[in-house]
Structure 1
């Protein structure tokens, strides 16, 4: 997805394009580049939601179509806001699916709790039905928060922590325990690459103490071996010069 949702990085789509094309080339698949980049801007969540509505709906539609056709979607996007529609599309087809949330941030704020007013920091909460972004029809499925397993999350707001605890989101602090916790399950993976330490991959919202590139590859290998990967979305890659490194890191997730 090249179209803008709420990213706050200049030319964020350049990394998305480079990684999408590299993954396609590695697997002999013609990469589909959807949408057109827009200039970076810093606005509130309501304006971003209005301006990116078409992009967000298209992201969910791509996951919906791929799963309906029996495919294993790999969606690359500049920003996590795509989760507003992609994750509900997953549970529409696979109601028992677990969402593995690999991210430095929980993105579980709401319009009532957000300090930054950043749409990307509210997307998982909306996908779980904690607040209504107005993108899903009445009666459309939402992700059960108890079916979300988080790992690598380390930058949280106080009200966000309270919401995670009251809604029953599972947090696994030790990456080595993740594969056993998910063994035998159907899993859709949300991977924001800021789960890596910012010393490895720069991030607009850096959170020290992240995974190493080798640590993330090992984690993904273990998860892929222990459960059924339904598909994935990869976000937060903005530096084309690191494309080969990141493509190698995510290989266990993308490989069929």
Structure 2
């Protein structure tokens, strides 16, 4: 039985463009070589809609359920999931499954944004901006819910809407800032719990890898690697990487995902060990 189950998602998930499909494929290929496993590819690319969240979710629901079933099968077989995903909205499918198999899981959410809006508070109507709130059960995604919001640690968050800040304050969600000793703060916040890692690549400085959103004052690769090494000191139940675009602009040259592989290597070593 494989220690690691690798998944590459190629379906819709509230995309503004098709570049994350390319990024997920490229990352998946590198992960296959690194881990020595063959990826399960979920869905096929379809035309990007770039529209309001409810239309996006209705269009993506079937594919997201396939993604959830794939992660569920891996966990039921005792494997540890590693996933190359497209957009953060895919977490609405993955996190509830992980929480069902690991009820005490701590989700470390690396992201420049909190993704804690709901259909009632979203200022943009963007599905990805509601991903973590949906997974945590703050609104009904039709994909289940879990973990609870109290099981989440935000890392590198620096762009927060007022309505999202209200959620953070009400639920006392810890935020690990990139301004301090991230590794030490993470170990303290995790407090010995098993960890599932969600990495939105826009947690990094915006000139490192292409992402849909760019936010200044992000993490460097060495800082992200140090944080991953700190997490890898404990129990890691899985990892997903999202929002890695394959080029800086439509029609641009492919940008290799090597910086991300370098940063997450401590987690890969832990999961494959």
Runs of 4+ in 1 over 3 A off after TM superposition: none
TM-score of the two chains, using structure 1 as the length reference: 0.93
Q: Which residue is 1:249 aligned to?
A: 263
Task: Identify unmatched segments of 5+ residues in structure 1.
Answer: none
Among candidates 22, 25, 31, match of residue 33 of structure 2: 25
User: Which of residues 222, 241, 252 in structure 2 aligns to 1:234?
Assistant: 241
Contact persistence 2:174–2:189 (CA under 8 A): no
- TM-score, with length taken from structure 2: 0.88
1:114 match: secondary structure: coil
Once residues 59 and 181 of structure 1 are traced to their aligned partners in structure 2, the CA distance between those partners, rounded to angstroms, is 29
The superposition leaves residues 75-134 of structure 1 with CA deviations (integer Å, 9 ceiling, x where unpaired) of: 111101111121111111111111111111110000111011000000110111111122
Q: Tell me the equivalent position of 1:171.
A: 175
CA shift for structure 1 position 71 = 0.7
Q: Aligned-pair RMSD on alpha carbons?
A: 1.4
Say if 1:149 and 1:172, in contact at 8 Å, map to a contact too. yes
* Alignment correspondent of 1:132: 140
Whether the 8 Å CA contact 2:209–2:255 is kept in 1: the answer is no
| 1:137-148 superposed matches below 5 A | 142-148=146-152
Aligned equivalent of 1:51: 59
SS in 2 for 1:241: coil
Gaps of 5+ in 2: 1-8, 247-253
Count of aligned positions: 251
> Contact conserved, 2:49 with 2:56, CA < 8 A, in 1?
no
Partner Cα distance (1:66, 1:178) in 2: 27
**Partner of 1:122: helix, strand, or coil?**
helix
Once the 2 structures are TM-superposed, how far is the Cα of residue 183 of structure 1 from its aligned partner? 4.4
